[in-house]
């Protein structure tokens, strides 16, 4: 790994300034993706600005209608939060499925969605629950946030401060994991709020995406059988040694049904 | 009286240091003034090296030495020879053995082949220097698949070796087999793949070398499984020095499974650099480079044919295998797809005729060398798959058909058509006991429960026949110290199997002395005159018998002294349970007392070095059974039960035997379900990290129920042991694969190649089992 | 070069480190605590697991500077003054280790697992070991040992 200057600012403003002042700066959240990337020499920033010293970015606040998770809240914290589990159990479940216990100790929601790995779990929850991403500059709707593989609506130097998830009436996440890496080969997050249903898919395409046909069918009839016959076009799905686009397309259907079934039985919040 | 016995589950003494972080592995060794090394590896599967410019690397501050292949050759360094036992092919042809240098000279023939070697003050500098070496590579057409490599017009790895053929080997009775095929009611044919995998010991390889100018002696600490044999090759073949001038030591080694057996290229380069620079040099491999340069295993494509009658009687077995061995003949690389896979063909069944042909083929891939079982898992898989497949094709019951053809105990001893001296065992008994453990009477209910949960239940039983291997000779040295300590040095080598416990257990039990007093040494060329290291499940069979022999010699030496202490006559004194006694007088004296007396009279008198030599290899055997549930919607497989009966002869320490079996099974499960080394056509490795190469984790493996049959200790060695290290891996592949195929029988699925990935299972169900049984070897048979 | 202060196994440590120095490098090379191992370069194997402020982390995937002010616990710091702790003892009794290379990471992961869940099911234990690879044991005896240790520690 190439060496770099390391800074640990105490405020978001200081972090932004440190970033602006650096030639080739990089924000460090939990580091569970970027540090392995740097170790392999695939990224070599001149400055690393650690967001871990900023007060308040780890807070988790739950009201009747919103679960607000600080950008630096770790997956382990979210998975273990009784408040989150009571409000949106699917979100707790998802956080507990990310990586492994050690990754969950360090990895953060802000880091995960800012990175927007096509096989990461959190983007599915953010998109399906129609979350709002708050940054140091603005609020971004989930539908506008995830742009393309490893690409988001974040501008240069913009810092996520928290993610607000509206509490859904029923939600669940079903993940089929890559047996080697344990990333999602296909993960489907289904959320129903009133008569509105959102279905978000991760792992299968180049970027998390919604499935309009499934959403429409589930809005009419929130049951697994409502998804019978609905297929996902496979031309934009990933093919690699672990799974073909065709298989991923099939898995989306299976996982969507399983998510709906889980949401019906145990996916309701308070 | 001793505190341990043969058969006790003695807890391991080495655990204390491993559990507290006090193990001493290769990367924990640092020598004063050491420099660090890094290896530049070929980024191409096949490329001509038109030139290498090292000037920028050499100019980097802190770089001490850069060596290229041309320079290495100019230093007069020799090549690493193969030690394969199979050197003659069909029609008396000789093996083709191209020169294997430690570095590519003019052509790189596999991805990851060393191209240059750098030594620097720090690892960071050494790594940075690699990026400053300018190599003018001219990529050449590559061939990574062994069947394709044999085809006319395939790219050649070696100009003077036609068809990339290393050796074309045969064993068995071709005429008898063909006759049986002509007469049988049915001949069933199946092509199958035994996927290429790699061992992935959690500790990567590495070494630290130094040179003492005063004595002109090198010292090499090396994460190897084989200090003596590799010392000889490094010293005599490569460096051109007397082997006495190289002291080779393995510290604690973090797993091996065969992948640390071989004579690898890096240690001689480290030794050369240590002498040249006059300071110790340390090299530790990365995991990424381990995938490229560590030896791989399995990787065979085969056509298996069985001649079988309507009533299920087996008449003959014929197997033709093509195995890609990489670009060179590695240490025993050509042996595995030839002799190694031939021997246990046919398993514990009566096959009146058998024939095996195995071709070892050069490919632009990492080298092939032993991986746990090295041929026996392949043979067992071939045998058990064709039996299962034939049963399905002919509507025969797989359990009943196997039962019918198992060799009965009264048929033993039996010389198999493959030359295996099967001396003892009770294959039907082990089969029935395994079946009993799996409780077939519960299957209907279990299948029912699975169906209700939307899953498919499957079961398979897989008897196996094993054989030991590795170096036939072993040494055990025992010395008695004035302070009561006993030292035991053995030339076999544990890389986790627990020799530090079980060999002292054996000595203590045999002599009736305190287990705690025994200090154990292994894997040090100064500690034992010879040593066969690790490999071929030889630890107890050869190492254990060397210890037993040393103990017996000590008893003989001690008897006159005991007689003297008993004021008796040596002829009247007998030894049992740790004591010498005179039956006439009723007097007795313990071995410990005799040892103490020997210290007063003639210290060292009882010290003993014994060399045991195996006559004929042993035949471990047993039976595996597995149940699985398959999710037809996703293709996911869950192994829900696993049972094993093993006949390892005498079991010295059942706790350690269990550990060997469990670990072996899970490596087999890994190969069957998730592990796969995939090269593309240009020789690039597609599964070169743990992100893509699927090692089994705790949440995907079943609990295993293991039991032993000790009713047939072999007479081939005094301890009656048969070898335990590889058996788990041997039985697991067919047990898992056949159980999955059993689950899918309702969908018409008759065959799938490993690994049984969820997508493969899903596709097989979707395609209703459509399958061409002669797809893989059509061009090679 | 940043200077960091932390405690390692309850002993205060002050060290100069480079920004890029990984926590595992500080532990192994800087402090000579070689019980923490490196088995891969992609954060998969778990041989390097230590605790930072009581929680398990892969020390190959954390910068040393990020541990400034933290309490770090390694395998060298978990044993009582003499003998083994209940998890180590159970691994010994149940033959939950062979080559020993993954063992320190297993000990540290198991310690955290039982702290967070003193009465785990077998499935909890197997799931909790998702980040630790063992190539020798087939996991069964490790799982049994952790279950047994949990029982001992509860009583």
Q: Per the structure, how many domains does chain C have?
A: 2
Same-domain pairing of C66 and C7: yes
C-beta atoms surrounding B252 within 10 Å: 24
Q: What is the pLDDT along chain A (270 residues), one digit of tens a residue?
A: 889 999 999 999 999 999 999 999 999 999 999 999 999 899 999 999 999 999 899 999 999 999 999 999 999 999 999 999 999 999 999 999 999 999 999 999 999 999 999 999 999 999 999 999 999 999 999 999 999 999 999 999 999 999 999 999 999 999 999 999 999 999 999 999 999 999 999 999 999 999 999 999 999 999 999 999 999 999 999 999 999 999 999 999 999 999 999 999 877 655
C-beta atoms surrounding C52 within 10 Å: 19
Per residue in C47-77, pLDDT (tens digit) is 999 999 999 999 999 999 999 999 999 999 9
**Residue that is last in its domain, among C56, C77, C98:** C77
C-beta atoms surrounding A55 within 10 Å: 9
Cβ separation C91–B204 shorter than 8 A: no
Report the distance separating Cα B555 and Cα B502, nearest Å: 20
CATH code of the domain containing C44: 3.10.20.30
Three-class SS state of B740: helix
Same-domain pairing of C57 and C122: no
pLDDT at residue A266 in the model? 75
User: Cβ(B770)–Cβ(B752) under 8 Å?
Assistant: no
Same-domain pairing of C73 and C93: no
pLDDT at residue B429 in the model? 98
Which class would CATH give B15-22+471-613?
alpha beta
Per residue in B65-110, pLDDT (tens digit) is 999 999 999 999 999 999 999 999 999 999 999 999 999 999 999 9
Q: Where are the domains of chain B?
A: 15-22+471-613, 31-140+200-293, 373-468+617-766
Confidence band, pLDDT 50/70/90 cuts, at residue B2: low
Answer whether A59 touches B (CB < 8 Å).
no
Please identify among residues 38-97 of chain C the ones whose CB lies closer than 8 Å to any CB of chain A. 41-44, 46, 49, 52, 55-58, 60-63, 65-66, 68
CA distance B146 to chain C (A): 28
User: Cβ(B26)–Cβ(B222) under 8 Å?
Assistant: yes
Report the distance separating Cα B46 and Cα B51, nearest Å: 15
Cβ separation C38–B27 shorter than 8 A: yes
CATH code of the domain containing C98: 1.10.150.120
Same-domain pairing of C11 and C72: yes
Report the distance separating Cα A34 and Cα A39, nearest Å: 9
User: Could you give the maximum distance between any two Cα atoms of chain A, in Å?
Assistant: 56
Scanning every residue of chain C, which has its alpha carbon at the shortest distance from the alpha carbon of B668?
Answer: C138
Joined together, the tokens standing for residue B314 give 């087996």
- Burial level of B311, CB count in 10 A (0-12/13-18/19+)? exposed
Report the distance separating Cα B309 and Cα B180, nearest Å: 10
Answer whether C18 touches A (CB < 8 Å).
yes
Q: Which CATH superfamily is domain B31-140+200-293 in?
A: Aldehyde oxidase/xanthine dehydrogenase, a/b hammerhead (3.90.1170.50)
- Burial level of B216, CB count in 10 A (0-12/13-18/19+)? exposed
Task: Encode burial over B173-190: b for 16+ CB neighbours within 10 A, e otherwise.
Answer: bbebbebbbeebeebbbb
Cβ separation C100–B14 shorter than 8 A: yes
Same-domain pairing of C69 and C7: yes
pLDDT average, residue stretch B586-611: 96
Joined together, the tokens standing for residue B251 give 């510290």
Q: Which domains does chain A have, with CATH numbers?
A: 1-53 (3.30.43.10), 170-266 (3.30.390.50)
Cβ separation B633–A254 shorter than 8 A: yes
Answer whether A244 touches B (CB < 8 Å).
yes
What chains are in contact with B, requiring at least 3 Cβ pairs below 8 Å? A, C
Per residue in B500-519, pLDDT (tens digit) is 999 999 999 999 999 999 99
Report the distance separating Cα B221 and Cα B227, nearest Å: 9
Cβ separation A40–B288 shorter than 8 A: yes
Same-domain pairing of C101 and C145: yes
Show which residues on chain B lie within 8 Å of chain A, measured between beta carbons: 288, 633-634, 636, 673-674, 678, 686-687, 690-695, 700, 757-759, 762-763
Scanning every residue of chain B, which has its alpha carbon at the shortest distance from the alpha carbon of C122?
Answer: B699
User: Cβ(C45)–Cβ(C132) under 8 Å?
Assistant: yes
Which residue stretches of B219-318 are H helix? 227-232, 266-277, 287-293
Per residue in B281-305, pLDDT (tens digit) is 999 999 999 999 999 999 999 999 9
Instruction: Tell me the ipTM for this assembly.
Output: 0.98
**Peptide bond between residue B395 and the one before it cis (omega within 30 degrees of 0):** no
Query: What Å distances lie between residue B149 and B10, B100, B142, B480, CA to CA?
Result: 50, 19, 9, 58
Joined together, the tokens standing for residue A150 give 């490893």
pLDDT at residue A54 in the model? 96
Three-class SS state of B17: helix
CATH topology of domain B373-468+617-766: Aldehyde Oxidoreductase; domain 4 (3.30.365)
Per residue in C98-141, pLDDT (tens digit) is 999 999 999 999 999 999 999 999 999 999 999 999 999 999 99
User: Cβ(B73)–Cβ(B105) under 8 Å?
Assistant: yes
Per residue in B204-246, pLDDT (tens digit) is 999 999 999 999 999 999 999 999 999 999 999 999 999 999 9
Chain B residues touching residue A247 (CB < 8 angstroms): 758-759, 762-763
Query: What Å distances lie between residue B545 and B449, B616, B723, C104, CA to CA?
Result: 50, 13, 11, 33
User: Cβ(B674)–Cβ(B101) under 8 Å?
Assistant: no
- Burial level of B504, CB count in 10 A (0-12/13-18/19+)? buried
Answer whether A96 touches B (CB < 8 Å).
no
Task: Identify the H or E element spanning A34.
Answer: helix A34-39
**Peptide bond between residue B755 and the one before it cis (omega within 30 degrees of 0):** yes
pLDDT at residue A267 in the model? 72
Domains B31-140+200-293 and B373-468+617-766 in one fold: no
**Residue that is last in its domain, among C31, C55, C77:** C77
**Residue that is last in its domain, among C55, C77, C99:** C77
Report the distance separating Cα B296 and Cα B194, nearest Å: 12
Same-domain pairing of C66 and C93: no
Closest CA to B757 of A241, A258, A206: A241
For B762, which of A40, A180, A247 is closest by C-beta distance? A247
Same-domain pairing of C8 and C52: yes
Confidence band, pLDDT 50/70/90 cuts, at residue B1: very low
Query: Where in the sequence is the domain holding C100, given as residue range(s)?
Result: 86-154
User: Cβ(C128)–Cβ(C122) under 8 Å?
Assistant: no
Residues 6+ apart with CB under 8 A from B689: B287, B288, B291, C40, C42, C44
């Amino acid at each position: 790994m190439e060496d770099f200057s390391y800074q640990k600012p105490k405020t978001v403003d200081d972090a932004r300034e440190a970033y602006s002042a650096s030639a080739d700066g990089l924000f460090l959240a939990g580091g569970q993706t970027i540090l392995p990337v740097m170790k392999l020499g695939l990224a070599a920033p001149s400055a690393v600005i650690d967001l871990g010293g900023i007060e308040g970015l780890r807070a988790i606040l739950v009201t009747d209608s919103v679960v607000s998770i600080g950008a630096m809240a770790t997956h382990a914290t979210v998975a273990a939060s009784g408040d989150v589990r009571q409000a949106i159990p699917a979100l707790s479940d998802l956080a507990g499925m990310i990586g492994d216990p050690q990754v969950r100790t360090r990895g953060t929601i802000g880091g995960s969605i800012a990175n927007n790995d096509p096989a990461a779990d959190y983007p599915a929850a953010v998109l399906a629950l129609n979350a709002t991403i708050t940054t140091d500059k603005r609020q971004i709707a989930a539908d506008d946030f995830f742009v393309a593989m490893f690409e988001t609506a974040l501008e240069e130097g913009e810092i996520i401060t928290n993610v607000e998830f509206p509490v859904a009436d029923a939600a669940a996440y079903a993940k089929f994991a890559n047996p080697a890496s344990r990333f999602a080969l296909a993960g489907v997050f289904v959320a129903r709020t009133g008569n509105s249903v959102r279905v978000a898919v991760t792992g299968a395409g180049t970027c998390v995406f919604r499935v309009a046909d499934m959403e429409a069918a589930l809005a009419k009839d929130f049951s697994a059988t409502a998804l019978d016959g609905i297929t996902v076009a496979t031309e934009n799905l990933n093919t690699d040694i672990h799974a073909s686009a065709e298989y991923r397309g099939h898995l989306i259907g299976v996982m969507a049904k399983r998510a709906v079934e889980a949401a019906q039985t145990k996916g309701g919040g308070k | 009286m001793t505190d341990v016995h043969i058969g006790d589950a003695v807890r391991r003494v080495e655990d204390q240091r491993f559990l507290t972080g006090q193990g001493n592995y290769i990367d924990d060794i640092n020598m004063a003034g050491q420099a660090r090394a890094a290896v530049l590896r070929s980024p191409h599967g096949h490329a001509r090296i038109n030139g290498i410019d090292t000037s920028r690397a050499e100019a980097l501050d802190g770089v001490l030495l850069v060596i290229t292949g041309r320079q290495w050759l100019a230093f007069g360094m020799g090549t690493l020879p193969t030690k394969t036992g199979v050197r003659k092919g069909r029609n008396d042809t000789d093996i083709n053995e191209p020169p294997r240098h430690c570095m590519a000279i003019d052509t790189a023939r596999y991805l990851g082949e060393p191209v240059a070697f750098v030594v620097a003050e720090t690892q960071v500098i050494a790594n940075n220097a690699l990026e400053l070496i300018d190599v003018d590579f001219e990529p050449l057409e590559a061939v990574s698949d062994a069947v394709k490599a044999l085809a006319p017009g395939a790219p050649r790895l070696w100009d003077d070796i036609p068809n990339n053929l290393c050796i074309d080997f045969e064993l068995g009775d071709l005429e008898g087999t063909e006759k049986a095929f002509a007469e049988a009611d049915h001949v069933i044919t199946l092509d199958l793949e035994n996927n290429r995998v790699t061992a992935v010991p959690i500790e990567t390889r590495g070494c630290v070398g130094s040179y003492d100018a005063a004595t002109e002696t090198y010292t090499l600490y090396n994460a190897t499984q084989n200090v003596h044999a590799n010392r000889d090759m490094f010293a005599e073949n490569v460096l051109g020095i007397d082997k006495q001038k190289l002291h080779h030591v393995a510290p604690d080694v973090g797993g091996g499974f065969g992948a640390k057996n071989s004579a690898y290229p890096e240690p001689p380069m480290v030794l050369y650099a240590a002498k040249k620079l006059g300071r110790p040099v340390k090299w530790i491999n990365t995991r990424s480079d381990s995938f490229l340069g560590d030896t791989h295993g399995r990787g065979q494509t085969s056509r298996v044919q069985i001649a079988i009658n309507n009533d299920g009687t087996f008449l003959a077995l014929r197997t033709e295998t093509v195995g890609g061995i990489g670009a060179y003949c590695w240490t025993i690389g050509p042996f595995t797809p030839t002799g190694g896979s031939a021997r246990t063909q046919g398993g514990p069944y009566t096959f009146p005729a058998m024939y095996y042909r195995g071709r070892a083929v050069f490919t632009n891939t990492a080298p092939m060398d032993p991986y746990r079982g090295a041929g026996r898992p392949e043979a067992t898989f071939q045998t058990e798959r064709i039996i299962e497949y034939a049963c399905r094709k002919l509507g025969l019951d797989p359990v009943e058909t196997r039962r019918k053809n198992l060799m009965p105990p009264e048929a033993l001893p039996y010389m198999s058509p493959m030359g295996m001296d099967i001396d003892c065992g009770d294959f039907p008994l082990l089969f029935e006991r395994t079946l009993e453990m799996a409780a077939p009477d519960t299957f209907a209910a279990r299948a029912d429960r699975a169906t209700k949960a939307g899953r498919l239940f499957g079961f398979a039983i897989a008897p196996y026949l094993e054989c030991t291997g590795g170096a036939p000779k072993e040494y055990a040295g025992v010395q008695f110290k004035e302070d009561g300590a006993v030292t035991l040095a053995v030339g076999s080598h544990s890389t986790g199997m627990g020799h530090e416990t079980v060999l002292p257990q054996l000595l203590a039990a045999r002599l009736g002395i305190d287990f705690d007093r025994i200090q154990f040494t292994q894997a040090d060329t100064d500690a034992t005159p010879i040593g066969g290291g690790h490999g071929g499940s030889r630890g107890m069979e050869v190492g254990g018998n060397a210890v037993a022999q040393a103990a017996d010699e000590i008893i003989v030496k001690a008897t006159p002294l005991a007689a003297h202490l008993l004021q008796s006559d040596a002829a009247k004194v007998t030894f049992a349970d740790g004591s010498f006694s005179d039956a006439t007088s009723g007097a007795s004296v313990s071995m410990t007392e005799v040892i103490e007396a020997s210290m007063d009279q003639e210290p060292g008198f009882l010290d003993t070095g014994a060399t045991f030599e195996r006559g004929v290899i042993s035949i471990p055997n047993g039976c595996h059974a597995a149940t699985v549930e398959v999710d037809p919607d996703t293709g996911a497989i869950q192994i829900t039960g696993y049972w094993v009966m093993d006949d390892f002869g005498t079991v010295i320490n059942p706790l350690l035997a269990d550990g060997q079996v469990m670990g072996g099974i899970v490596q087999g499960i890994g190969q069957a379900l998730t592990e796969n080394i995939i090269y593309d056509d240009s020789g690039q490795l597609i599964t070169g990290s743990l992100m893509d190469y699927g090692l089994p984790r705790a949440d995907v493996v079943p609990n295993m129920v293991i039991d032993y049959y000790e009713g047939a200790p072999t007479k081939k060695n005094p301890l009656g042991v048969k070898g335990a290290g590889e058996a788990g891996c041997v039985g697991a592949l067919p047990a898992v694969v056949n159980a999955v195929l059993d689950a899918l029988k309702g969908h018409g699925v008759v065959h799938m190649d490993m690994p049984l990935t969820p997508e493969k299972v899903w596709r097989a169900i979707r395609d209703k089992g459509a399958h061409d049984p002669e797809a893989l070897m059509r061009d090679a048979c | 070069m940043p200077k960091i202060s932390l405690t390692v196994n309850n002993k205060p440590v002050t060290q100069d480190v480079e920004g890029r120095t990984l926590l595992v490098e500080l532990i192994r090379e800087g402090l000579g605590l070689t019980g923490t191992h490196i088995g891969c370069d992609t954060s998969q194997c778990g041989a390097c697991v230590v605790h930072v402020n009581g929680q398990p982390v892969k020390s190959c995937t954390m910068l040393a500077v990020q541990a400034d002010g933290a309490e770090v616990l390694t395998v060298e710091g978990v044993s009582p003054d003499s003998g083994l702790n209940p998890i180590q003892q159970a691994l010994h009794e149940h033959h939950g280790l062979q080559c020993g290379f993954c063992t320190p990471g297993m000990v540290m992961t198991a310690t955290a697992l039982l702290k967070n869940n003193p009465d785990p099911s077998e499935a909890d234990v197997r799931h909790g070991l998702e980040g630790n690879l063992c190539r020798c044991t087939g996991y069964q005896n490790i799982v049994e040992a952790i279950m047994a240790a949990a029982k001992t520690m509860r009583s």
